[in-house]
Amino acid sequence: MAQWLIQNGHLIDPANGLDDVLDIRIVDGNVAAVGKSLTAEASDEIVNASGLIVSPGFIDIHCHLREPGQEAKEDLVTGTASAAAGGFTTILTMANTRPVIDQAIIVAGMKYKIQTDAVVRVEITGAVTKGLEGKELAEIGDMAQAGVRAFSDDGFYVNDGRLMRAALEYASMFNLPVISHSEDCCLVADGVMHEGCVSAKLGLKGRPAEAENIAVSRELMLAEMTGGHVHIAHVSSKGAVDLIRAAKAKGIKVTAEVTPHHLCLVDKTIESFDSAFKVNPPLRTNEHIVALLEGLNDGTLDAIATDHAPHAYEEKDCEFNDAPCGFAGFETAFSVLHSRFVKTGEWSVQKLIQKMTAGPAAAFDWQDRGHLSVGGLADLVLIDPNKAWVVDPQKLLTRGKSCPFAGMEMTGQVVRTMVNGKWVYQDGKITRK
Ligand SMILES: [Zn+2]
């Protein structure tokens, strides 16, 4: 296996408190040394990273790879290529595939396919209920033993509180989180966007923020009751942030994530009736964004997650009401947030990197990920913080070409990604060196 010496990069490793121009040596898939002006060894292949940021590989705790069953939207090859291009070295894929990942045998099949097809580390979420139907608990214990890292019916709220209670109790026996897509099904009904002035003006059915707040409230109470770990996916409402903050203060075992699109886009964009902006929970208003930003700042929100949810272009190319929800997110996540918050001086780049590395690793207690400790895994990215580029969905590696950031000018991009000591992405292409 090649031995690498990455020289003169601006190494930012929030978990280890590192923020300096440093060299890093990679040997046999592990970090062998980190320090000032390391002496090159004969077997080192040198990478000059001057002017670049060296960061631990990003961790995405919420994505959809569509395999098995919906490979027209994405599969493990295109999905993990897209993740690598976005700088993600570990991703957690959701269970809403066809068939649903609700049995140990399907987890085993996925693990086999991951070994052959994936260029980044893929962790698996098992369903909470069989077929995501919300009626009967899935094989929680068997799937835990088969190696899933979380449980979720994401895409749906587990409407039956008794089942959610059982899932939290059962998952806690394996120290695994239950991830909640928190929107009260009856309140959102067939709403297609945030309920407010814009939905009223456009005559589109709304999904009120209260649907999220109510759903989150129940999850927090059940987490308190059971002692289980609930993770709130894609938090988008002010009320949810307030509730999670209060629950954390009480010592309830809750963690939470927020997406780039909920931080950067508002419901008003839907005035274009462009289905690229259709997502659940919906894009809301500035008032909610302010609360999400406060939540990120004070640690109420632990991580940034993409909710990468690709669809075939023709599926999204229809009337707003009929379009499926979600869009690709891996390849824009870092650049969107870097352009919107770091370049404008609102956030430090360290903060952004923390929320994409150490933050998600800590939320799910993945102690071997999200840092560049000596002896640890060599999962890292090189970032050019000044690289200007424009989002052209046709050039993205994902199969999901619908993207709400299409045409936007970005500053900052991942230029190289290393997984387990091998470069898997470099200069716009997947490599396996
Ligand atoms: Zn969801």
Distance 234 CA to ligand 1 centre (A): 7
pLDDT on residue 354: 98
Please tell me whether residues 63 and 190 are part of one structural domain: yes
Residue 1 has pLDDT above 90, yes or no: no
Distance 63 CA to ligand 1 centre (A): 9
- Percent of the chain topping pLDDT 70: 100
Report the 10 Å Cβ neighbour count for 403: 23
Distance 168 CA to ligand 1 centre (A): 18
Report the 10 Å Cβ neighbour count for 160: 14
**Position 101 confidence tier, pLDDT thresholds 50, 70, 90:** very high
- Could you tell me the residue range of the domain that residue 90 belongs to? 57-363
- Percent of the chain topping pLDDT 90: 92
Residue 24, domain CATH: 2.30.40.10
Taking a 5 Å cut-off on Cβ, the residues next to ion ligand 1 are 154, 181
Distance 287 CA to ligand 1 centre (A): 21
Which of 242, 307, 322, 427 is flagged as catalytic?
307
pLDDT in tens, 143-154: 999 999 999 999
How many domains in the chain?
Answer: 2
- Provide mean pLDDT across the span 209-223: 98
**Position 433 confidence tier, pLDDT thresholds 50, 70, 90:** low
- Provide mean pLDDT across the span 316-328: 89
Distance 280 CA to ligand 1 centre (A): 6
pLDDT in tens, 404-417: 999 999 999 999 99
Residue 85, domain CATH: 3.20.20.140
Please indicate, yes or no, if residue 370 is contained in any of the structural domains: no
* Apex 321 CA angle, 205 and 133, nearest 5: 85
H helices present in 284-427, as ranges = 286-297, 313-316, 330-337, 349-356, 358-363
Please tell me whether residues 49 and 63 are part of one structural domain: no
pLDDT in tens, 43-81: 999 999 999 999 999 999 999 999 888 988 899 999 999
Please tell me whether residues 352 and 386 are part of one structural domain: no
Torsion angle, alpha carbons of 26, 31, 35, 36, to 10: 20
pLDDT on residue 272: 92
Cis check for the bond before 281: say yes or no (omega within 30 of 0).
yes
Contacts 24+ apart (CB under 8 A), 340-349: 340/263, 340/264, 341/263, 342/385, 342/412, 343/411, 343/412, 349/12, 349/53, 349/385
- Domain final position from 307, 328, 363: 363
pLDDT on residue 187: 96
Residue 307 known to be catalytic: yes
**Position 313 confidence tier, pLDDT thresholds 50, 70, 90:** confident
Residue 225 has pLDDT above 70, yes or no: yes
pLDDT on residue 37: 93
